[in-house]
Amino acid sequence: MDKFRIEHDSMGEVKVPAEHLWGAQTQRSFENFRIGVEKMPEGIIRAFAVLKKACAEANRELLPEKMTEEKLKAICAACDEILAGQLPGEFPLSVWQTGSGTQSNMNLNEVVANRGNQIAGKKLLHPNDDVNMSQSSNDTFPAAIHIAAVCEIKSRLLPALSGLIDEFDRLEKENEGVLKCGRTHLQDAVPIRFSQEISGWKALLERSREQIISSLSSLSNLSLGGTAVGTGLNAPERFDILAAEKISAATGHAFKTDPNKFHSLSSQDEAVFGHGALKALAADLMKISNDVRWLASGPRTGLGEITIPANEPGSSIMPGKVNPTQCEAVTMVAVQVMGNDTAIGFAASQGNFQLNVFLPVIAYNYLQSVRLLADAMESFRKNCVSGIKPNVEKMTENVNKSLMLAAALNPSIGYENAAKAVKLAFEKNITLKEAVVELGLLSSDEFDRVFRPEDMT
């Protein structure tokens, strides 16, 4: 038989499973929002634990008569357990809840209060009066989004991105002298070195890294201290500044108070801007992955200019088939991130009056994008890019067959004559040299002197 305890809130009594630490408001949300399977991201829970601990420390300095040393220790101990992953089953709430994230704020308040009381061995903490002191859901949830975004980007995304950049840097150096056919409009173009093509991939990622890093500055602004509507009601003077300092010390990342809390409660433009940089990275990864799988296409009837690792069988019916599965995974992640960006943009536009009430979906989509991009880049690096090898024989064959090498003849015979040679070579299926000689534009020796594809790169 299930065991319950009775908790209460301003609306009355609620039965809560005896084995859990949450209270009445969490239970009401759990029962009232049985929507989907998406739960509040772990990154938001961790950000809230950092935030609650920092706010308690700030309150201890500014309101010592209310936040006693005993209460501070109990709150900090409970938050440390959350950060250590010791209370994983205590945060069950759906993303699809109140748009301010109030119930998730209260979930943290209730768990920290009840666990703190267990640690203290007595009824010491109240979820609203103590754990939520000087705060409102309206300023804590936007702050948690920013804290989580900065921490996840710095600890997870940027290392994965830098690792992929380094892998392409190695690949570029290894393929310095390899000549291949360039392509524009999916058609043959003038030659390019394989190392130059790789350098383009690397530069895409380097530019994305710069843009993501630049977005961290605005994401470091925190709404804490604005409380309900931005006026700072019930928060002591300097609470916002001190709380940001405590969060900076706890995370190792520089956070600061937003100078205008009316802005930070009602706007999510930092999230839109920051996720825009993630979308740009997704677009770059889409381009790179598509290039890789096109170049590896075949292996006999496609381009076949590179080989990629054969990680698993590619078909349930065609023996020996190998598919560019890592490229496909990356491109699916890119599509998801682009969809997330659309959702975040719409959600951020809904800041009515003093509050945006689409915060949980912004948090969920933002952190999902960070996680998916980081994981996809690491998988792509380890299981595909690290094993890319040029098929030099095929690249050389394609360069020699390309009629666009005629561009090298422009200075000697002119654009229109070169075009005639290309047309003749294509129609008669002969080499460019044979066409030029047949048209009487150059002798065989003259052609060999002026036609050097390697000089075209």
State both tokens at 107: 């979930």
Residue 386 is among the residues annotated as catalytic for this protein: no
266 catalytic? Reply is no
Distance CA(193)–CA(172), nearest Å, equals 10
Phi, psi of 91 (to 5 degrees): -130, 75
105: number of CA atoms within 13 Å, CB side? 24
38 three-class SS: coil
Question: Do residues 305 and 291 make contact, with C-beta atoms less than 8 angstroms apart?
Answer: no
For 85, the 3-state DSSP assignment is coil
d(CA 320, CA 9): 64
Question: Please, are residues 51 and 224 in contact by the beta-carbon 8 Å criterion?
Answer: yes
Q: Which helix (H) or strand (E) holds 189?
A: strand 187-193
Active site residue: 185, 195, 214, 263, which one? 185
Q: Which residues does 216 contact at the CB level (< 8 Å), separation at least 6?
A: 150, 153, 154, 274
3-state secondary structure of 17: strand
Q: How far apart are CA 22 and CA 64, in angstroms?
A: 27
Of 8, 214, 315, 444, catalytic: 315
> So which residues are the catalytic ones?
185, 315
